[in-house]
Structure 1
Amino acid sequence: MSHAPELSRRFSFRRLAQMPVEEKITANVTECAALAKRFDLPRLDSLSCRFRLTQGERHSVLAEGWLAARVTQVSVISGEAFDDAVAETFAIRFVPRHEFREDDGVDLEAPDVLPYDNDSIDLGEVAAEQLGLALDPYPRMQGEGLDEAVDVVPAEDEPAEEREDAQARPNPFAALASRREGKH
């Protein structure tokens, strides 16, 4: 990490003698403003995250998290700012850096695996990163949608030969559908 985190709360794994450990972090006004700038948000009104940390095998630590935030985003459709709530649950397994392998197979059902150094992690930065992952990259206000202008059926005013060409083209998903139905 090349910059100082906007929200920093160090947690020492030595505290895991009593298992599990519950931690809650809440960003203050200054931290919210800095995170809003980081994530290019007009405003971040609140961010809190509750963690349950459990010691695993071979010095690994499982962090289960529950994140809640109030943000203001800008709609990609109308360009208008709107308030939104973000709620996310997540799980991360921290392993000592010397045991971390990026080339291990990806198990989509397993928690993400991240390395740590010096027997501690920054729960504030974990919460900030999870907020970044939870934000919709294409935010839009409730009820706003893309116009139904994308029409796969040729318009009636198109020349007849173009309508016939469109109807004669094979469906690219037909082969997949037949395999799914067992019609190899």
Structure 2
Amino acid sequence: MTPEFSRPERLDTIGERDRSVTFAATPEERRKLAARFAILSVDLLEAHFTIRRDTSGIVAKGHVTAKVVQACSVTDEPLTATIDEPVALRFVDDFGAVDGEIELSDDALDTVPIDGGAVDLGEAAAETLALALDPFPRGPNAAAALRAAGVISEDEYQPVNAFSGLKAKLEGKG
């Protein structure tokens, strides 16, 4: 199945020197991504990568920027969010060849398997967007709506159990 936002870069076009790749999602691609990620809309999605081949695969580094509208997880009010995420990936041929533990350095890259004769930078950008989304966005009216529904905040929570008032009772008997 072809992803909603596919931008394949053929392996035979990627050399050992850095090459810049910039692209943006079309309105139709943004509509499909919004449906895939269950958000109200993707108003902008752009990606800029620098790609090159090295001894262990294809290295892609860059940024994904987006403007999205999500529904508040409490009130369903639309909330606009701006995404600006760095991306650092290594596409490798034999993803399953690594056994045991791997020592990660500070400059370690997320590893992605190469599928066919290309790396899909569009899908990498879409997955970066998905990971950057707030899973439980809350708008300015969320706290009031929760209070009105009888939901207390973490600060107001008082555990209720057989021992919850014991300390006060013991101190009162002094």
Match of 1:101 in 2: 98
| Count of paired positions | 161
Q: Which residue, 125, 131, 134 being the options, matches 1:133?
A: 131
How much has 1:25 moved relative to structure 2? 1.4
3-state SS of paired residue (1:17): coil
Distance 1:88 1:108, change over 3 A: farther
- Checking the alignment, whether the CA contact within 8 Å between 1:100 and 1:114 is kept in structure 2 is no
CA distance in 1, matches of 2:99, 2:129: 23
Distance 1:99 1:76, change over 3 A: closer
Match of 2:153 in 1: 149
The amino acid across from 1:128 in the alignment is: A
More displaced, 11-20 or 141-150? 141-150
Match of 1:182 in 2: none
CA distance in 2, matches of 1:151, 1:14: 58
3-state SS of paired residue (2:39): coil
Identity of aligned residues (%): 28
Match of 2:39 in 1: 41
Distance 1:55 1:42, change over 3 A: same
**Is 2:69 the partner of 1:65?**
no
Match of 1:75 in 2: 72
3-state SS of paired residue (1:34): helix
**Is 2:129 the partner of 1:123?**
no
CA distance in 1, matches of 2:70, 2:13: 37
CA distance in 2, matches of 1:106, 1:142: 43
- Checking the alignment, whether the CA contact within 8 Å between 1:74 and 1:82 is kept in structure 2 is yes
Distance 1:20 1:78, change over 3 A: same
CA distance in 2, matches of 1:134, 1:153: 30
- Checking the alignment, whether the CA contact within 8 Å between 1:91 and 1:112 is kept in structure 2 is yes
CA distance in 2, matches of 1:131, 1:85: 10
Match of 1:162 in 2: 165
User: Alpha carbon RMSD of aligned pairs, Å?
Assistant: 3.2
3-state SS of paired residue (2:154): coil
How much has 1:13 moved relative to structure 2? 2.4
TM-score (norm 2): 0.77
3-state SS of paired residue (1:151): helix
CA distance in 1, matches of 2:12, 2:130: 28
How much has 1:100 moved relative to structure 2? 4.3
Distance 1:62 1:163, change over 3 A: farther
5+ residue gaps, structure 2: 169-174
Match of 1:114 in 2: 112
- Checking the alignment, whether the CA contact within 8 Å between 1:100 and 1:115 is kept in structure 2 is no
CA distance in 2, matches of 1:87, 1:24: 15
5+ residue gaps, structure 1: 166-184
3-state SS of paired residue (1:64): strand
- Checking the alignment, whether the CA contact within 8 Å between 2:6 and 2:122 is kept in structure 1 is yes
How much has 1:153 moved relative to structure 2? 8.2
